[in-house]
């Protein structure tokens, strides 16, 4: 028993270092996306490749398997957090031992190289420029998926999904997405018809200087609960949340003619950041102390952006802030802000999509990436399949690949199997926000005063502080009393867009 | 023979990763000093400690000693660069194996913690706040110095110096500093008396907005040869040059009432950056591809700042740039700039010192740090010893420890044994610049046109591209035909300040 406990302690020491190195990788990625000069890319790719190889070696040393086996024996006497920690260690070990170092290194270099090409190809709408690199990366990703699938006993796509959404299964995703497919097209048409009868939203008249947008964003982040002694707001081409829990870095991009997207983008990333910041400090560098997965992560960003900050109460709080930031504009009236931020309109760009259309963007990507992983779609055929899919799902066809299959970074930097979590997260967000308001009925009024403490307090206690001690499903059951349930999301959409 | 060559190749692979990790540490340090929020310090310290421990483990594994011994055998057939690389590997191994992991970790944490306290103590002029941490760090540094001294067969102070100035010896430093001591006090008095008879320099009238200072700095950096696709200019409390050769990051700080210090500071750091950028690309991650040491490094920054950019020719080129940046001011006349930048005035702050007074600042620190390492001076007695030393060397006594022993970061972040390299570098700078102008007589006229290509070309070929393939002395002999020679520095001072 002591020997087994010693084995567990040795694993904790090893994973402590792995956790710190994971934080280093996150800082290097932030730097790359925000401040690094272009000529630093090769050196940065080398640094990241070496750290990933090292990470892989630390997880695949023979001692790890022995220690895991010893610690997993029934008599170790671990407490529930330690047991959950051990289970995550096992998961990490399976992911690592499934891949040879050669493949780890090739994947790291392919991600760095393909992302670099994508950064050139996207503005030029030149899919051909990045196609060879993408095809090469897909071959590596499929090789990795097959190897992990065998070890995990799941489908290759699920093996990729497992990195972002542990224990995610395509049967469950298919069930949830089918449910959405059952009501979303009709809902969308009804909303569009209804909106056509209502007065159009008045557009705010710019310009909106980026410096003023940034200052407003920082004020709102502070109101929501972001602590700038433990984080930053910066600019990047593709907004993201990164860094480490004690130093959370979020980014946005500014359009001087339209502040509305960046503003909600900042609140979205703030939701991610607050989740990271609220993870259990006692387990800071251990696997169980990390975010549960991207479904819960996206639920936190979307709860903040879609549930809390597009609510009429928050828009009423926002209106005078907009006047203070940019000067008076009739478009800043709360009821107009509600029309602006409640506008449903099929469009090409996922990150700009409204919450009624957004799931269609995700369903498209989910189908396409599964088809590519299952060798049913060749990368060369991606642009056509994408455009056909957009036509079928939203009735519009992108004018170029810039508004089509080149718009997102994910496939180009190696994040295959990530997309479904956006919509699973949107559904979880509706469910969690409803539960929060049920448990603490003062939340909506507080938000209308710009006071997020009641909401954040509930999220900290019922979601953030759990880390990875429960599964995604376990967190939802713990916090809301039931598993993931699209009917609450449906009710939310009907209330907001048809109410 | 093949086996021995295999051993060398295995060492190259290991040191490649160590080199990449060294670059990661440099990026993390840049981030800490420029953009990291204060609350991220503990997490960053943990990341750095883990990387330093890892670095130490990679150098102290039993295989390393076996591989070094095999590769060092006479029959390996290495070429001169490989042999020099191997010698640097041996040096790194000695430094690492001398210390137990416990001490490596303790030193890393002491450096992070003490630096944090220093950042609070310095503005408050509160030496007592940082004294306990400093004393604890000194104890660790002395322990490390003793352990390394035994392995290297040198004095404890020399063992510390060896990290910054490989093979540096106190006998040589004492000889050079004694030579300076033989002429500097008289020279200084003569210069001060001469200046008192000349018209005073006219001070530029501000304000000088930091944004305009930054834009000017970037223009001058570009003129000097800095490539912004491979580097950045940012702000930090304590200016430095960091990053990696393909992504060199320099910093400065701006004073809106006085641009003169930041401007020369930027040119100084640019000299460091150009050295890093010019290191041999074929040896990028290997020890022999790194900068030779801090004497050569400081020679490159001081050659740029003191030799090239305070020359009358450059000041003539600078004058219209200042007018373009800040508007016309009689103080921008070239002859007044020469008076401004040629002013000799004993002061409290090393980084603001003129080149006649600067060596006294260094000699003071060298004496004090040697005394502390040799247990002849207790940290508690440092403020008094500092102030007495300033009075003796420059005839002035700091009003508080902020202008005294708290002004520099070095002792507080663990850089003991660094200071002498500033003055050794100043001497080397004079010697290298003289040799460059002898070899390429067009250099001064080119600098007067803002064309640094001839100078940079000579430095690239004769200093930068050598990496660590030769010793400091070897580089100086190769580039100038003789070892370090203070008489050239003396001649330079006499020409500029008494000529």
| Cα-based angle A472, A473, A476 (whole degrees, multiple of 5) | 90
Q: Which of A17, A50, A284 sits opposite B20 (nearest CB)?
A: A50
Give residue B289's Cα distance to chain centre: 18
Whether residue B226 contacts residue B217, with contact meaning beta carbons closer than 8 Å, is answered with: no
Q: DSSP for B262-280?
A: HHHHHHHHHHHHHHHHTS-
Beta bridge partners of B242: B249
Q: Under CATH, which architecture does the A167-499 domain have?
A: Orthogonal Bundle (1.10)
**Three-class SS state of B333:** coil
Give residue B52's Cα distance to chain centre: 21
Whether residue B302 contacts residue B252, with contact meaning beta carbons closer than 8 Å, is answered with: no
Reading phi first (left if > 0) and then psi (alpha if -120 to 50, else beta), residue B481 is in left
Beta bridge partners of B233: B250
Beta-strand relationship, A231-235 and A247-252: parallel
pLDDT at A236: 94
- With an 8 Å Cβ cutoff, is A27 touching chain B? yes
Yes or no, beta carbons of A247 and B36 under 8 Å apart: yes
Nearest-Cα residue of chain B relative to residue A232: B37
pLDDT at B206: 86
Phi, psi of B239 (to 5 degrees): -55, 145
**Tokens linked to A119:** 């950064």
Give the B window 38-67 contacts with A, CB below 8 Å: 38-40, 42-44, 46-47, 49-51, 53-54
pLDDT at B417: 97
Q: What CA–CA distance (Å, rounded) separates A143 from A149?
A: 10
Yes or no, beta carbons of A47 and B285 under 8 Å apart: no
A1-43 residue pLDDT tens = 578 899 999 999 999 999 999 999 999 999 999 999 999 999 9
Whether residue A40 contacts residue B230, with contact meaning beta carbons closer than 8 Å, is answered with: yes
Yes or no, beta carbons of A46 and B232 under 8 Å apart: no
Beta-strand relationship, B247-252 and B241-244: antiparallel
pLDDT (tens place) for every residue of chain B, 499 residues total: 578 899 999 999 999 999 999 999 999 999 999 999 999 999 999 999 999 999 999 999 999 999 999 999 877 789 999 999 999 999 999 999 999 999 998 998 899 899 999 999 999 999 999 999 999 999 999 999 999 999 999 999 999 999 999 999 999 999 999 999 999 999 999 999 999 999 999 999 989 999 999 999 999 999 999 999 999 999 998 899 999 999 999 999 999 999 999 999 999 999 999 999 999 999 999 999 999 999 999 999 999 999 999 999 999 999 999 999 999 999 999 999 999 999 999 999 998 899 999 999 999 999 999 999 999 999 999 999 999 999 999 999 999 999 999 999 999 999 999 999 999 999 999 999 999 999 999 999 999 999 999 999 999 999 999 999 999 999 999 999 999 999 999 999 999 999 8
Q: Using the 8-state DSSP alphabet, how is residue A327 labeled? A: -
**Tokens linked to B431:** 């010697």
Residue listed under structure tokens 């000067």: A327
A126-146 residue pLDDT tens = 999 999 999 999 999 999 999
Q: Which of A27, A37, A44 sits opposite B229 (nearest CB)?
A: A37
Element (H, E) at B124: helix B101-124
Whether residue B71 contacts residue B53, with contact meaning beta carbons closer than 8 Å, is answered with: no
**Tokens linked to A232:** 């930053």
Q: How far is CA B41 from CA B48, B89, B356, in A?
A: 10, 32, 38
Compute the nearest-CA separation of B266 from chain A (Å). Answer: 18
Q: Which residues of A are catalytic?
A: 269
Q: In what order do the strands lie in the sheet with B247-252?
A: B231-235, B247-252, B241-244
Beta bridge partners of A261: none
DSSP E strand boundaries for A359-473 = none
pLDDT at B352: 87
Whether residue A101 contacts residue A57, with contact meaning beta carbons closer than 8 Å, is answered with: yes
Whether residue A310 contacts residue A44, with contact meaning beta carbons closer than 8 Å, is answered with: no
Q: What CA–CA distance (Å, rounded) separates B413 from B137?
A: 9
Preceding peptide of A207 cis, ω within 30°: yes
Residues in chain A closer than 8 A to B16 (CB atoms): 50
Location of each CATH 1.10.1370.30 domain in chain B: 155-499
**Tokens linked to A407:** 């718009």
The rounded radius of gyration (Å) of the Cα atoms in chain B is 23
A265-298 residue pLDDT tens = 999 999 999 999 999 999 999 999 999 999 999 9
Phi, psi of A250 (to 5 degrees): -115, 160
Whether residue B238 contacts residue B318, with contact meaning beta carbons closer than 8 Å, is answered with: no
pLDDT at B1: 59
**Three-class SS state of A364:** helix
Phi, psi of B311 (to 5 degrees): -70, 150
Yes or no, beta carbons of B228 and A21 under 8 Å apart: no
Yes or no, beta carbons of A246 and B27 under 8 Å apart: no
Given the candidates 3.40.50.1970, 1.10.1370.30, 3.40.50.620, 3.40.640.10, the CATH classification of the domain at B155-499 is 1.10.1370.30
**Three-class SS state of B72:** helix
Q: Which of A40, A43, A232 sits opposite B37 (nearest CB)?
A: A232
Closest-CA residue to A247 (of A265, A234, A228): A228
**Tokens linked to A64:** 């790890």
Q: Helix H segments across A98-155?
A: 101-124, 127-152
pLDDT at A1: 59
**Tokens linked to A331:** 């478009």
ipTM of predicted complex = 0.93
Q: Using the 8-state DSSP alphabet, how is residue A203 labeled? A: P
Q: What is the dihedral of CA A301, A302, A306, A309, to 10 degrees?
A: -20
Whether residue A105 contacts residue A53, with contact meaning beta carbons closer than 8 Å, is answered with: yes
Element (H, E) at A244: strand A241-244
Q: What CA–CA distance (Å, rounded) separates B386 from B402?
A: 12
CA terminus-to-terminus distance, chain B: 61
Interface with A, mutate which of B21, B36, B37, B248 (most A CBs under 10 A) = B37
Q: What CA–CA distance (Å, rounded) separates A353 from B14?
A: 48
Q: What CA–CA distance (Å, rounded) separates B217 from A253?
A: 27
**Tokens linked to B455:** 């100078």
DSSP E strand boundaries for B117-272 = 231-235, 241-244, 247-252
Nearest-Cα residue of chain A relative to residue B23: A47
**SS3 helix, strand, coil % of chain B, rounded to 5?**
70, 5, 25
Interface with B, mutate which of A18, A21, A24, A30 (most B CBs under 10 A) = A24
Q: What CA–CA distance (Å, rounded) separates B445 from B440?
A: 11
Whether residue B22 contacts residue B97, with contact meaning beta carbons closer than 8 Å, is answered with: no
Preceding peptide of B207 cis, ω within 30°: yes
**Tokens linked to A288:** 């169980």
Residues in chain B closer than 8 A to A47 (CB atoms): 20-21, 23-24, 27
pLDDT beneath 70, residues of chain A: 1
Q: Which residues contact B391 (CB under 8 A, 6 or more apart)?
A: B397
**SS3 helix, strand, coil % of chain A, rounded to 5?**
70, 5, 25
Nearest-Cα residue of chain B relative to residue A37: B229
Q: What CA–CA distance (Å, rounded) separates B394 from B90?
A: 42
């Amino acid at each position: 028993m002591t020997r087994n406990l010693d084995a567990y302690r040795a694993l904790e020491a090893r994973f402590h270092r792995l956790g710190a190195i994971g934080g280093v990788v996150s800082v290097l990625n932030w730097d790359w996306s925000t401040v690094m000069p272009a000529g630093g890319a090769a050196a940065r790719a080398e640094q990241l490749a070496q750290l990933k190889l090292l990470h892989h070696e630390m997880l695949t040393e023979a001692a790890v398997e022995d220690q895991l086996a010893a610690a997993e024996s029934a008599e170790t006497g671990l407490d529930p957090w330690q047991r959950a920690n051990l289970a995550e260690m096992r998961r990490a070990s399976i992911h690592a031992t499934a891949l040879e170092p050669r493949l780890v290194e090739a994947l790291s270099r392919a991600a760095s190289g393909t992302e670099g090409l994508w950064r050139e190809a996207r503005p030029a709408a030149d899919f051909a420029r990045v196609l060879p690199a993408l095809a090469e990366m897909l071959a590596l990703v499929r090789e990795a998926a097959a190897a992990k699938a065998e070890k995990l006993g799941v489908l290759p796509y699920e093996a990729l999904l497992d990195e972002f959404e542990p224990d995610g299964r395509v049967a469950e995703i298919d069930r949830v997405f089918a449910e959405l497919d059952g009501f979303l097209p009709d809902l969308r048409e009804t909303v569009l018809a209804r909106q056509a009868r209502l007065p159009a939203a008045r557009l705010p008249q710019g310009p909106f200087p980026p410096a003023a947008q940034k200052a407003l964003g920082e004020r709102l982040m502070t109101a929501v609960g972001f602590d700038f002694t433990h984080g930053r707001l910066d600019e990047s081409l593709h907004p993201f949340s990164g860094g480490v829990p004690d130093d959370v870095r979020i980014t946005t991009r500014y359009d001087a003619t339209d502040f509305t997207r960046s503003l909600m983008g900042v609140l979205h990333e703030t939701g991610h950041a607050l989740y990271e910041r609220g993870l259990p400090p006692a387990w800071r560098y251990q696997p169980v102390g990390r975010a549960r997965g991207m479904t819960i992560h996206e639920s936190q960003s979307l709860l903040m952006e879609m549930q809390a900050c597009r609510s009429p109460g928050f828009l009423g709080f926002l209106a005078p802030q907009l006047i203070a930031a940019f000067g008076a504009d009739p478009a800043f009236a709360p009821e107009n802000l509600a029309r602006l931020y409640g506008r449903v309109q099929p469009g090409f760009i996922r990150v700009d999509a409204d919450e009624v259309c957004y799931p269609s963007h995700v369903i498209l990507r989910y189908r396409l990436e599964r088809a590519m992983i299952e060798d049913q779609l060749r990368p060369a055929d991606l642009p056509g399949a994408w455009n056909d899919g957009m036509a079928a799902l939203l009735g519009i066809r992108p004018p170029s690949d810039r508004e089509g299959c080149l718009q997102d970074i994910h496939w180009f930097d190696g994040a295959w199997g990530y997309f479904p979590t956006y919509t699973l997260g949107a559904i979880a967000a509706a469910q969690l926000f409803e539960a929060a308001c049920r448990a603490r009925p003062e939340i909506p009024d507080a938000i209308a005063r710009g006071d997020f403490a009641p909401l954040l307090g509930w999220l900290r206690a019922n979601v953030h502080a759990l880390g990875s001690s429960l599964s995604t499903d376990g967190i939802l059951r713990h916090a809301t009393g039931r598993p993931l349930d699209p009917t609450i999301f449906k009710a939310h959409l009907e209330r907001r867009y048809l109410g």
